[in-house]
Amino acid sequence: MMYATGDEQKVQKKKPLYKQWWLWMLTAIVVLLFIFSSNTEPLELTDLTNLSKKEVVNKLGKPNDTWIVQDDEDGYYYMYPFGVTLLGDETSVSEISLTYGQKGVKSNRVYSILGLTLGVNFNDYTKENPDVFRAPNLDIVSSEGQRSRMYHDKQEDTILNLLTESDRIVGVRYARYANSDESSVIDLANYLGNAVPEQQIIRELGVTSTVTGNADNTYYFGQAGMANWVKSDAKNGQIREITITDGRFFNIGGQRVGDTEAQIAAALGTPTSTTEKADGVKVSTFELTASNTANNCIVEVQSSNGKVSTIQATLRSTYADSLLSQIEEKEPTPVTEKSPNTSTDTWPSLSLEQQIEFNQYFSEFSSVNFGTSPYIKDSAISSYSADELIRFAIERNQKFGQDNSYSLNPNNDSELMMHQDLVAEVIEHFFGIQINHKSTSGYRYKDGFYRWDAYRWAYTDSNLFSQVQRLLDNQDGTLTAEIGVFQDLNDYRNFNSEDSDHLQAKAIRYQPQATGSDASHFSYIGTVKATIKKSESDDWILIDYKVESLY
């Protein structure tokens, strides 16, 4: 009988390979690494928007009861401990939020909204992706230093809200505009009747220019020049009136420019009065109590072809005062003997070239909304503030000037600048006035240059233009033009290009009384009366300019 040696016994007792503990441990590590590596690609949460509630639960799971705010036939509101929040109904998701999860809670997934993940430096992201973000519709910095950048996608009618701290993204929200928290925040009716400090208005609305007065101050805001404004009492800061005429971002009582008359009626109820104006413009008046103020207000809505063009909310007390002043103005005035000099319409006698030149001349003013400040009490140019003339010169140069009329500040690439000589030259050419250079709201003056934030992009063209309807010879060396203001509804982008179609389309604007197929995309939006005279250099200068109506 043969006995195994000690070494042989050890060989016989050696465990099979599949029973070795270290092998199982290594295998587990490999499997875990594979699982985590397969989930490094962020899950894009906006892909959930068109999914049903069942499909969303299949993707993210269903949170336990402590994290469910609502779950019934009206919809669901799910909060996940790893930082995702969803609002939706059986067919789709209406709001998505992404924040840092509850302390100690981790997820094996990384989440993104429109490609944005938490912790990313916003400035670094925009440098790497320069075409992704334009200027925000609203940019607010809180007293604690948290910054909210709000972007509105008109086509999708959605809002993207980015929260950053020290420029690092700490929260992202993506919501459909209607009924979202954001739409309630930017309901401007909430300001009415409240005393709001000037700096708060400037910060919260992104004010681009300000006109101060003895009784009222006016703050213009939004991305379309002076299309939207807020009026406040100069003494106590109480907001008396708010008007929006452009864009789909801000709302009054939940209603926006571009809404239908049916939407307005459904939200605001039966109008207290309705009047018809010229050219099919309808004015309807409603009563409204804003949710965040105890003050009742009157909302006046102008619409044309069933679409809203202007919404104005006024404190009831202020509105009553305005009606009283109108009644006082209607008191009969004494009859005075008319001057023997009578004005004659010279427009029909002008050549086609002369008519085009006058249309182009007056378009210089309408294109930048000149004279639309509600605090221009006297239409004489000599009574206009220097702020108004400086703003005209800068914005006129942006729209009609050469490419080198403004440039980036070489020491600050977030700032544009224009030399003072260009501003002075335009003011003297169009108004025959020499000004003292100064900073105005929206334009800082320093070291011979006017400067403004680069996110307020420079325009190369305007879709507003003028057409003279009558040109009266006043027999005293002056001419008074009765002007129609039009909007070109086509989008031709950059007219500085060599595209002959674009240049021809622009030229049609100035053809006198353009009609027919060439003008089918022109919209008549208002009237202006302007008086001009010859300067010593034989140029026409503007001496009086009054915007009589603007829809």
User: Cα–Cα distance between 326 and 128 in angstroms, integer?
Assistant: 57
The SS3 assignment for 451 reads strand
Cβ neighbours, 10 Å, residue 380? 12
User: Cα–Cα distance between 385 and 399 in angstroms, integer?
Assistant: 22
Task: Quote the pLDDT of residue 273.
Answer: 87
Q: Among 505, 211, 227, which residue's Cα sits nearest to residue 219?
A: 211
Burial environment of residue 47 by CB neighbours within 10 A (0 to 12, 13 to 18, 19 or more)? exposed
Q: Among 13, 180, 170, 9, which residue's Cα sits nearest to residue 98?
A: 170
Task: Quote the pLDDT of residue 24.
Answer: 55
Q: For residue 24, give Cα distances in angstroms to 17, 31, 35, 122, 359.
A: 10, 10, 16, 44, 86
Task: Quote the pLDDT of residue 230.
Answer: 92
Directed axis angle between helix 386-400 and helix 420-431, to 10°? 100
pLDDT along the chain (551 residues), means of 10: 48 50 58 52 90 93 90 91 92 93 79 91 87 81 84 90 92 91 86 87 84 86 76 89 86 89 86 83 83 68 89 76 43 46 82 91 91 78 88 83 70 85 92 89 86 64 85 91 86 54 74 60 85 90 89 62
| Single-letter code of the amino acid located at 54 | K
User: Cα–Cα distance between 300 and 297 in angstroms, integer?
Assistant: 10
Cβ neighbours, 10 Å, residue 496? 12
Q: What is the DSSP letter of 113?
A: B
**pTM attached to this predicted model:** 0.53
Task: Quote the pLDDT of residue 129.
Answer: 82
Task: Quote the pLDDT of residue 98.
Answer: 94
The SS3 assignment for 431 reads helix
User: Cα–Cα distance between 56 and 516 in angstroms, integer?
Assistant: 53
User: Cα–Cα distance between 409 and 470 in angstroms, integer?
Assistant: 44
Paired strand residues for 76: 71, 88
Task: Quote the pLDDT of residue 254.
Answer: 86
Let me know the angle formed at the C-alpha of 511 by 508 and 514, rounded to the nearest 5 degrees: 85
Contact 257, 310 (CB under 8 A): yes
